[in-house]
Structure 1
Amino acid sequence: MPNRPVLDFWYEFASPYSFLSALRIEALAESADVTLRWRPFLLGPIFAAQGWTTSPFNLYPNKGRYMWRDTARRAGRNGLSIVKPETFPQNSLIAARLALAGREAGWMPAFSKALFRAEFCEGRNIAEEAVLNAALKGAGADPGQAFPASRSEEVKGRLRAEIEYAKSLGIFGAPTFVTQDGELFWGDDRLEEALDWARDGR
């Protein structure tokens, strides 16, 4: 039996469009017979390399207003209501490190989805330990083990390496989906196309 094709799902916890993809990608990938690799990373260093100090949705107000309306529409199609957090974009450094700490243990996807729901369904601050704790517990992880692991030099280095790898792939936003043959698809509205390409190629 041939190996299933693999799709890399690059996501940023501060990204509303990543939130939309995270909550629907697993079922779609299973239907397409595609294996997912969840790859949390940070957009801040990528934006900084372009001279941006914040999200382009803040730098360009019309673009920001459109984004919140667009994500609300897209969320509504999936039976969700999106809430704009008080601070945007949120500080996602600890969240990304925690997610990477859970990769081998297998709770990364569940933790990611729980945290996205807290942020964009409830308007919670994902930099707060109580919010992170709740997401970890919801994913079946032990915060007493996850937090120390996330502060290890190994995990910090892993996140830095992921960001550099994302840069080398030409990733400039989130979510981004990358197929095994290197094809890059950006945006929640390209998820189905990315899965088709991962399965069938050009």
Structure 2
Amino acid sequence: MFDGVALMPRIAFWYDFASTYSYLSAMRIETLAVDRGISVEWRPFLLGPIFKKQGWETSPFNLQRSKGNYMWRDMERQCSVLGLPLVRPNPFPQNSLLAARIAYCGRNEDWIGAFTRAVYHMEFALGEDISNPELLAALLVELGAPAKRVMNEIETAEVKIGLRAEVATAESLGIFGAPSFVTEHGELFWGNDRLDDALDAAFMRFG
């Protein structure tokens, strides 16, 4: 059967819901990709295990105060340019495990983009706690996703192991931070400021 989507160039979008700059990319990647005729492959994962291998128990933005201060000021500037609201979540970084499991479950579903944006909006626009399962279930309901089934699935060994495997896959691709973008040819781009370059590379090297 002919599948037009299969013939489109694709880009893998690797993101952690606790990541500030992933918020900026998540809110615009789908629109930018559609404009270029590119399909987005949503790849939620967790940076925590990768950071721990570096000896970091929290975000480097917390470990290095000057770096953290710069990041928040830069986020204010970038959000102003993009017309996005910004609230510093408390605590930072947020516990993104449940949101990541849900997104992993829905990574191939029609609602994945909308769910991802909704979680980021709750976290960085409204300052809500994204580790709250009731909040996440409510977002699924609002999107018309099968909330009860998904909330049950995220407690299964299959999903827990699958998400851990995604972390290993990310490491094998050379990913060390989020957001990261990987083209079908394995070209890695890191950071929200490389989103356009990544999309251009995905399109130019297609086929």
Q: When the two structures are superposed, what TM-score results if normalisation uses the length of structure 2?
A: 0.93
CA distance in 2 between counterparts of 1:140 and 1:175 reads: 27
Which residue, out of 145, 148, 151, partners 1:144? 148
Counterpart residue number, 1:49 = 53
Please give the residue correspondences for 1:59-74 in structure 2 after superposition, counting only pairs within 5 Å. 59-74=63-78
State whether structure 2 residue 168 is matched by structure 1 residue 164.
yes
State whether structure 2 residue 123 is matched by structure 1 residue 119.
yes
Does structure 2 conserve the Cα–Cα contact (< 8 Å) formed by 1:83 and 1:122? Answer: yes
Tell me which amino acid in the other structure corresponds to 2:171: K
Tell me which amino acid in the other structure corresponds to 1:90: Q
Does structure 1 conserve the Cα–Cα contact (< 8 Å) formed by 2:10 and 2:40? Answer: yes
User: What is the aligned-residue RMSD (CA, Å)?
Assistant: 1.5
Tell me which amino acid in the other structure corresponds to 2:117: K
After TM superposition, the structure 1 stretch with the greater mean CA deviation from structure 2, 102-111 or 120-129, is: 102-111
Does structure 2 conserve the Cα–Cα contact (< 8 Å) formed by 1:6 and 1:180? Answer: yes
Counterpart residue number, 1:88 = 92
State whether structure 2 residue 47 is matched by structure 1 residue 38.
no
Does structure 2 conserve the Cα–Cα contact (< 8 Å) formed by 1:119 and 1:126? Answer: yes
Does structure 1 conserve the Cα–Cα contact (< 8 Å) formed by 2:30 and 2:113? Answer: no
Which residue, out of 177, 181, 184, partners 1:177? 181
User: Displacement of 1:143 after TM fit?
Assistant: 2.2
CA distance in 2 between counterparts of 1:61 and 1:138 reads: 38
Please give the residue correspondences for 1:16-35 in structure 2 after superposition, counting only pairs within 5 Å. 16-35=20-39
CA distance in 2 between counterparts of 1:139 and 1:93 reads: 20
**What is the number of residues matched between the two proteins?**
202
Does structure 1 conserve the Cα–Cα contact (< 8 Å) formed by 2:16 and 2:179? Answer: yes
CA distance in 2 between counterparts of 1:133 and 1:3 reads: 34
Moved >3 Å (runs of 4+): none
Instruction: Report Cα offsets for 1:66-115 as digits up to 9, x if no partner.
Output: 11111111111121121000100111111100111123433221111101
CA distance in 2 between counterparts of 1:104 and 1:36 reads: 10
User: Displacement of 1:64 after TM fit?
Assistant: 0.5
Which residue, out of 192, 199, 204, partners 1:188? 192
Counterpart residue number, 1:9 = 13
Q: SS of the counterpart of 2:7? A: coil
User: Displacement of 1:153 after TM fit?
Assistant: 1.3
